[in-house]
């Protein structure tokens, strides 16, 4: 195993744990993320190995970064009271997402891709194992809203638990898809099964109801892909959830609807607050469709929600981006997600087994990202998103290499004496991989 691959793998494993093991220097603005990105960039430059094709989806990422920057400038134009904090949010969102480019150029070949994919799986295993240990430390026999597992994510019991749940929603479907697709790689399937078992157990004790329903839906979707029998088993497990799920989990689910003193059913405060916050966000959007400014949600939402929810998070990444970044921001994010989904689907259609595995696994992670942002603002949580962005870069690198290999026979035939020259098709497909407009 090459030392440079180990460096890139280390970043995948370490960055979600940054809050637990900080690398802090006495220099303002210098943190572990900054230092690691600089080191990885230096490694890429020193190697002097250029990827043979431009980075796929580059334009979509730059569009997203531009939308964030414009939202930052809009916010500072009328309220720069927390300029440093707002700039830090912009920097973190751009730098974490830039890991896509770092890992696209950092994966040198298929061996690198396998090492880095294994690092993503290792991170999932470690976070799942930590969650299981926390669950037993806190006690699994009784529900306590202030003792929810958080994994390596900070922010207190509630916020940290929701971050951990968001991470599991994104990464566990990737592991399940790997289990289904890696038929010729038994060790990878075993590792995936272990991650799924530990991660699912840990997810129970995040007490995130969103995570329960999102993972059930995503696992069922994967089950349908695997076989009818597997799908039926998952359906039966879902239908009998109340019979085998931990009592504390059922207690948490039962809190979604409560009976008022007048005998009427009503949503619990946590669930109701989300709808009120989203409504308030839409009121802000109607007032300023160009956006209120990056990191301005908490200081602006107060007049549009009951006093008890003043300063609350949006609890929805799409609502947050729509409100803070306006039409341009949400359009750029949806455009980016659509591009990532399209990349996964194109990878699945390649003839080799590894491409189908990585394509399907990454595609399920993209769907997990969508689900994780429906009831949480995970797009702004860099430590939750770091492994997703790295996985996206790894997947894109594999895709361009696999696509080039799949076209080599056609290229060789075109170069044969007297043969027609369809080599332009190779160029068209590679251009499409780089973000061109060729229709599927």
What pLDDT, in 10s, does the model give residues 63-80? 999 999 999 999 999 988
3 state DSSP class of 257: strand
Dihedral (Cα; 30, 36, 37, 38), 10-degree rounding:
70
Say yes or no to pLDDT of 214 above 80: yes
Task: Give the model's pLDDT for residue 437.
Answer: 44
Cβ–Cβ < 8 Å for 324, 350: no
Distance separating alpha carbons of residues 74 and 79, to the nearest angstrom: 9
Distance separating alpha carbons of residues 400 and 82, to the nearest angstrom: 42
* Highest averaged pLDDT of the listed ranges 204-218, 358-372, 411-425: 358-372
Distance separating alpha carbons of residues 375 and 270, to the nearest angstrom: 11
Cβ–Cβ < 8 Å for 328, 285: no
Average pLDDT over residues 291-299: 94
Beta-ladder partners of 265 = 259
Average pLDDT over residues 399-412: 79
The count of other CB atoms within 10 Å of the CB of residue 86 is: 21
pLDDT tens sequence across 180-191: 998 889 999 999
Distance separating alpha carbons of residues 124 and 350, to the nearest angstrom: 27
Cβ–Cβ < 8 Å for 67, 322: no
**Global pTM?**
0.88
φ, ψ for residue 258, nearest 5 deg: -125, 160
At residue 331 the predicted structure's pLDDT band, cuts being 50, 70 and 90, is: very high
Structure tokens, 305: 């929600």
Structure tokens, 271: 């669930």
The count of other CB atoms within 10 Å of the CB of residue 136 is: 11
Average pLDDT, the chain: 87
- Asked which of 202-206, 393-397, 422-426, 433-437 is least confident by mean pLDDT, the reply is 422-426
The count of other CB atoms within 10 Å of the CB of residue 145 is: 12
Q: What is the DSSP string of 65-99?
A: HHHHHHHHHHHHHH--TTHHHHHHHHHHHHHHHTH
Average pLDDT over residues 70-98: 94
Angle at 91 between CA 88 and CA 94, to 5 degrees: 145
Cβ–Cβ < 8 Å for 222, 182: no
Structure tokens, 284: 């802000």
């992670």: which residue's tokens? 365
Cβ–Cβ < 8 Å for 365, 391: yes
Say yes or no to pLDDT of 1 above 50: yes
Say yes or no to pLDDT of 272 above 60: yes
Task: Give the model's pLDDT for residue 261.
Answer: 47
Cβ–Cβ < 8 Å for 160, 206: no
């Amino acid at each position: 195993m090459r030392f440079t691959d180990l460096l890139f793998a280390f970043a995948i494993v370490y960055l979600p744990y940054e809050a637990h093991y900080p690398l802090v220097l006495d220099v303002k603005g210098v943190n572990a993320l900054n230092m690691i990105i600089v080191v990885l960039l230096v490694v890429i430059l020193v190697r002097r190995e250029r990827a043979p094709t431009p980075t796929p989806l580059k334009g979509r990422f730059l569009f997203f970064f531009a939308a964030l920057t414009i939202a930052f400038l809009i916010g500072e134009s009328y309220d720069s009271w927390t300029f440093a904090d707002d700039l830090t949010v912009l920097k973190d969102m751009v730098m974490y997402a830039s890991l896509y480019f770092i890992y696209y150029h950092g994966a040198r070949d298929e061996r690198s891709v396998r090492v880095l994919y294994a690092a993503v799986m290792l991170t999932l295993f470690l976070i799942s194992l930590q969650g299981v240990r926390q669950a037993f430390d806190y006690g699994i026999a009784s529900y306590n809203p202030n003792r929810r597992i958080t994994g390596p994510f900070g922010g207190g019991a509630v916020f940290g638990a929701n971050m951990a749940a968001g991470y599991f929603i994104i990464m566990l479907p990737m592991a399940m898809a790997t289990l289904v697709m890696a038929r010729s790689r038994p060790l990878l399937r075993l590792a995936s099964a272990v991650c799924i078992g530990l991660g699912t157990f840990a997810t129970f004790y995040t007490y995130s109801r969103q995570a329960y329903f999102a993972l059930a839906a995503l696992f069922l979707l994967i089950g349908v892909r695997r076989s009818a029998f597997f799908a039926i088993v998952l359906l039966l497990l879902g239908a009998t959830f109340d019979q085998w799920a931990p009592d504390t989990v059922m207690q948490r689910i039962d809190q979604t609807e409560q009976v008022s003193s007048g005998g009427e059913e009503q949503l619990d405060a946590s669930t109701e607050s989300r709808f009120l916050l989203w409504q308030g966000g839409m009121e802000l959007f109607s007032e300023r469709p160009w956006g209120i400014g990056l990191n301005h949600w908490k200081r602006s939402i107060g007049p549009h929600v009951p006093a008890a929810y003043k300063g609350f998070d949006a609890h929805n990444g799409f609502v947050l981006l729509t409100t803070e970044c306006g039409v341009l921001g949400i359009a750029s994010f949806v455009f980016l997600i659509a591009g990532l989904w399209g990349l996964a689907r194109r990878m699945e259609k390649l003839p080799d087994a590894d491409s189908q595995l990585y394509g399907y696994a990454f595609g399920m992670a993209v769907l997990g990202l969508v689900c994780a942002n429906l009831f949480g603002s995970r797009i702004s949580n860099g430590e939750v998103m770091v492994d997703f962005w790295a996985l996206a870069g790894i997947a894109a690198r594999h895709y361009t290499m696999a696509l080039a290999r799949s076209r080599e026979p056609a290229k060789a035939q075109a170069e044969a004496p007297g043969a027609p020259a369809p080599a332009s098709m190779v160029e068209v497909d590679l251009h499409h991989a780089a973000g061109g407009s060729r229709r599927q």
